[in-house]
Amino acid sequence: MTIQTPLSEYRFDPDAENAGIDAALIAIEVARLLKEDRTDEIRQFLETLELADTAALIEELDEASDLTVMHLLPLHDQAELIGYLRPSSQVSVATRIRKRDLVALMTAMSHDERADLFKQLDEEAQEAILPALSKAEREDLRRLASYEEWTVGSVMTSDYAVVRPEMTSSQAIEALRTQALDAETIYYAFIVGESRELLGVVSLRDILTARPRQRVSEIMDTEPVFVRVTEEQEEAARLIARYDLLALPVLDENDRLVGIVTADDAMDVSEEEVTEDFHKGSIVQPLDMSVAEATIATLYRARIFWLVLLVFGNIFSGAGIAYFEETIAAHLSLLFFLPLLIASGGNAGTQSATLMVRALATGDVRPTDFGRLLARETLIALALGLTMAFAVSVIGVWRGGPEIALVVASAMVTIVLMGALIGMCLPFIFARIDRDPAAASGPLVTSIADVLGVVIYFTIAARLLEL
């Protein structure tokens, strides 16, 4: 069905439930206008959009239209737009446009996003692009693309503003004015020596409020917070959040300034880290693409290993039940409470694991706090277990009499205590052996709690009911 609604009546509303549907509808209208060669109307509409919304529109268009619409934008807008596209869409655009246009686009891109796009291209495309770049751009691109994905170097940019310590505040303002178009941010300016060693940092606010003839060396911070280029990128995000920074200087092993990490890049890192923790917490292998783009085979491989492993782990639960066959046969009412008790232990363990994984990730607690937290968790788990035991004992009396109620209540206290302590200890154990605490997942905790819960429940039943 052809849509005749004028483009001017469309608006992107990121808070609306149908924001994605709007993008699809606009794409249909844009495709119709392209067929009618009414590109001026499309260009005027694009001028009213934020680039992030334009990227959403580009994602909805087919390959016959997306490049046409993208080329309606000025080059600097195209360069910024690329950063809002999904990685697969970036590669698709880069492999379909002419080499000359790709070189111009990458030259206009920010240094860090240019390096990210370069790393996604195949070797043949990379070799075709490099000779067309200037020597300085080529060296900068190779350097940024050489860092491992998990390091600070992989998310930093070399687009930073520099001023000299002997400059007056007035001269510094002029220097920042000339660098404003190319720098990632001018809210922080960095002072470097002859060998690019970091001497200090000064904020734009301090420069503007300083006396006109006051030198930068008098107002700069000579002991700025910094991060090493080879450290994990999560460390940069942590420092930016802790000290409320707009940009964090990155130094190499010789204390030379090699780049900065900005607050928006830190937000991306934090989002990736949270997503990775969610995946690990659900025993899903981390994905290097979005779920929407992932193939069936990719999602299958990401999930199957741990599921099969836990299947074999849960065999021990069945073995435990088989071992206490005689006790169960003599008191069939015990089976009524088995799912309830096992689920309680798993739930308590998952709660504890979630709290500890997050606390370790945010630095709220450290591995050295283990002893204090273990004592506290023991008291909390006992209180939880006793409360749950009191509630379930009423049902125990109704289903099997006082003896069954005593067994169920005793098992509840023990299983909840055991589950909570397992959930609390596993993240610390993983951290101690240099593994991500997030790997101490809910399913892993639940599987361990299930096996031990079965053994604990029927052991208590066998002992108490044989008295």
CATH class as words, domain 161-263: alpha beta
Say whether pLDDT at 154 is over 70. yes
Give the model's pLDDT for residue 467.
Answer: 47
Residue 362, Cβ neighbours under 10 Å: how many? 10
Above 60 in pLDDT, residue 20?
Answer: no
CATH topology of domain 7-146: MgtE N-terminal fold (1.25.60)
Indicate yes or no: pTM above 0.85: no
Q: What is the rounded distance in angstroms from the CA atom of residue 316 to the CA atom of residue 335?
A: 17
Q: Model confidence over 40-71: pLDDT tens digits?
A: 988 988 888 888 889 988 988 888 888 999 99
Length of the chain: 467
At 18 the pLDDT is 45
- CA-nearest of 238, 276, 274 to 363 is 238
CATH code of domain 314-465: 1.10.357.20
Which percentage of the chain shows pLDDT scores above 70? 89
| Crossing angle (nearest 10°) for helices 442-465 and 315-323 | 0
242 CA to centre of own chain: 17
Whether 202 contacts 192, CB under 8 Å: no
Q: How far apart are CA 341 and CA 344, in angstroms?
A: 5
| Domain extent listing, the chain | 7-146, 161-263, 314-465
Q: Which tens digits make up the pLDDT trace of 73-119?
A: 999 999 989 988 888 888 888 888 888 888 888 888 888 888 888 88
Quote the mean pLDDT of the chain.
84
Whether the pLDDT of residue 348 is over 80: the answer is: yes
> Phi, psi (5° rounding) for residue 104?
-65, -40
